[in-house]
């Protein structure tokens, strides 16, 4: 008697859990924008992200993606999230330093040594610490995806050492740390939105730009460049941001689906981008660009010369933030 009662109670509980789970999903069309071409691995990540939320919500939630800055550049789209007129954006951290100065930590030149270190920092406590600061300005960061180590391309001359940057007209992101990093190298740095790079290079308004190989490939910058240098000078992550005003209207189940699926998308995106990176370089080379390596000694020299940028920006980023990331990295390197 007791046993059957217990069994039927368990069955009832199971049914009500299943029913409430379904009831907790509303029809949600999530507009997500990005500045890149859809052929970039972010496209693969978004596909996985979308398939996952559709599955978890029984088809009620879905993601509609807009590519190549169709809904505005990184910063404009992020502001649309804050005011609750757009749901989601995948953006570089760099153009958002005006909103969250602590994000500048990711712009510090030569901060991470490799992808493994970057993953450990952004997926760990440090990433959560930064997420709280984003939350405070109305942005829910669902995950960190990979943009990648940045490399310099240009149409002027081979660049293999510090002095080669002298006088180069280079596009940088709308970010003071990048601006100072390249000014410090003697370059003529100009902040510009991502969507303006191709025509800037084509019309020779700028000589150079810097982005990971995969971006140089999928945004076709190699068509209007002659040289590429393996500088690996910074690793700026992507943030998968959700509008907090809209987030606050979602149920716990909807929020959980989005958080879990953004991580699934992250794993896919990282897998694809890492497999593609060397292929992208090969493609760039095959298109006729001259590849220049930076020697390990020169890399060290660049890092030490870049120290003034750390000193100048530490106060704005937050001394505690810079020290915290350095401590995290020191622990990882033990
Ligand atoms: C840049 C960034 C961009 C990304 C992209 C638009 O150079 O690296 O590639 O923010 O999402 O502006």
The 10s digit of each residue's pLDDT in 74-121 is 999 999 999 999 999 999 999 999 999 999 999 999 999 999 999 999
Q: Is 173 in the pocket of ligand 1 (CB under 6 A)?
A: yes
Nearest alpha-carbon partner for 166 in 208, 196, 213: 208
- Token pair of 220 as six digits: 């076709």
Does 151-235+280-333 match 29-146+236-277 at the fold level? yes
CATH topology of domain 29-146+236-277: D-Maltodextrin-Binding Protein; domain 2 (3.40.190)
Maximum alpha-carbon separation in the chain: 87
**Contact by Cβ (8 Å): 50, 79:** no
pLDDT given for residue 223 in this prediction = 98
Nearest alpha-carbon partner for 290 in 157, 149, 148: 157
End-to-end Cα, the chain, rounded Å: 61
**Contact by Cβ (8 Å): 165, 237:** no
Nearest alpha-carbon partner for 34 in 62, 5, 68, 6: 68
Nearest alpha-carbon partner for 86 in 7, 31, 156: 31
* CA dist., res. 26 & res. 39, Å (int): 30
Q: Which protein residue's CA is at the shortest distance from atom 1 of ligand 1?
A: 194
For a pocket test of ligand 1, which of 173, 231, 240 has the largest count of ligand atoms closer than 8 A to its C-beta?
173
Q: Is 34 in the pocket of ligand 1 (CB under 6 A)?
A: yes
Q: Could you tell me the residue ranges of all domains in the chain?
A: 29-146+236-277, 151-235+280-333
pLDDT given for residue 61 in this prediction = 98
Nearest alpha-carbon partner for 168 in 111, 209, 203: 209
**Contact by Cβ (8 Å): 161, 298:** yes
* CA dist., res. 74 & res. 104, Å (int): 15
Mean pLDDT of the chain: 94
pLDDT band at 9 (very low <50, low <70, confident <90, very high): low
208-241 residue pLDDT tens: 999 999 999 999 999 999 999 999 999 999 999 9
Nearest alpha-carbon partner for 215 in 148, 274, 156: 148
pLDDT given for residue 218 in this prediction = 98
15-69 residue pLDDT tens: 544 444 456 999 999 999 999 999 999 999 999 999 999 999 999 999 999 999 9
Distances (CA, A) of 183 to 107, 109, 164: 14, 13, 13
Look at the block and give the residue holding tokens 């943030």. Answer: 239
> Which is higher by pLDDT, 8 or 151?
151
Q: How far is the CA of 99 from the centre of ligand 1 (A)?
A: 17
Quote the distance between the C-alpha of residue 327 and its chain's center.
22
Q: Is 159 in the pocket of ligand 1 (CB under 6 A)?
A: no
Number of CB atoms found within 10 A of residue 43's CB: 17
Q: Is 78 in the pocket of ligand 1 (CB under 6 A)?
A: no
User: ipTM above 0.95?
Assistant: yes
Q: Residue 285: is its pLDDT beyond 60?
A: yes
* CA dist., res. 80 & res. 322, Å (int): 29
Q: Is 194 in the pocket of ligand 1 (CB under 6 A)?
A: yes
* CA dist., res. 220 & res. 215, Å (int): 8
What architecture (CATH level 2) is domain 151-235+280-333? 3-Layer(aba) Sandwich (3.40)
Look at the block and give the residue holding tokens 């109670």. Answer: 9
179-215 residue pLDDT tens: 999 999 999 999 999 999 999 999 999 999 999 999 9
């Amino acid at each position: 008697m007791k046993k059957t009662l217990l069994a039927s109670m368990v069955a009832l509980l199971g049914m009500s859990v299943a029913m409430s789970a379904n009831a907790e999903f509303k029809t949600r069309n999530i507009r997500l924008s990005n500045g890149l071409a859809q052929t970039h691995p972010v496209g693969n990540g978004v596909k996985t992200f979308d398939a996952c939320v559709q599955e978890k919500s029984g088809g009620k939630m879905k993601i509609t993606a807009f590519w190549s800055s169709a809904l505005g550049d990184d910063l404009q789209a992020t502001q649309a999230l804050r005011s609750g007129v757009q749901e989601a954006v995948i953006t570089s951290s760099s153009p958002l330093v005006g909103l969250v100065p602590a994000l500048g930590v990711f712009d510090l030149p030569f901060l991470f040594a490799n992808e493994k270190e970057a993953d450990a920092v952004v997926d760990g406590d440090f990433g959560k610490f930064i997420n709280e600061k984003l939350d405070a300005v109305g942005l829910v960061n669902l995950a960190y995806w990979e943009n990648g180590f940045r490399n310099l391309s240009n149409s002027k001359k081979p660049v293999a050492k510090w002095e080669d940057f002298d006088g180069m007209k280079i596009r940088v992101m709308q970010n003071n740390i990048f601006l100072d990093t390249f000014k410090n190298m003697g370059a003529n740095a100009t902040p510009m939105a991502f969507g303006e790079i191709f025509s800037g290079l084509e019309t020779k308004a700028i000589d150079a730009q810097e982005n990971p190989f995969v971006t140089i490939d999928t945004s076709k910058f190699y068509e209007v460049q002659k040289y590429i240098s393996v500088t690996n000078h910074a690793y700026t992550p992507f943030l998968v941001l959700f509008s907090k005003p809209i987030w606050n209207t979602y149920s716990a189940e909807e929020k959980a689906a989005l958080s879990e699926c953004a991580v699934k998308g992250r794993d896919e995106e990282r897998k694809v981008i890492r497999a593609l990176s060397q292929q992208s370089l090969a493609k760039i080379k095959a298109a006729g660009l001259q590849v220049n390596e930076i020697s390990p000694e020169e890399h060290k020299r660049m890092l030490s010369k870049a120290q003034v940028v750390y000193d100048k920006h530490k106060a704005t980023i937050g001394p505690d933030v810079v020290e915290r990331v350095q401590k995290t990295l020191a622990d990882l390197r033990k």
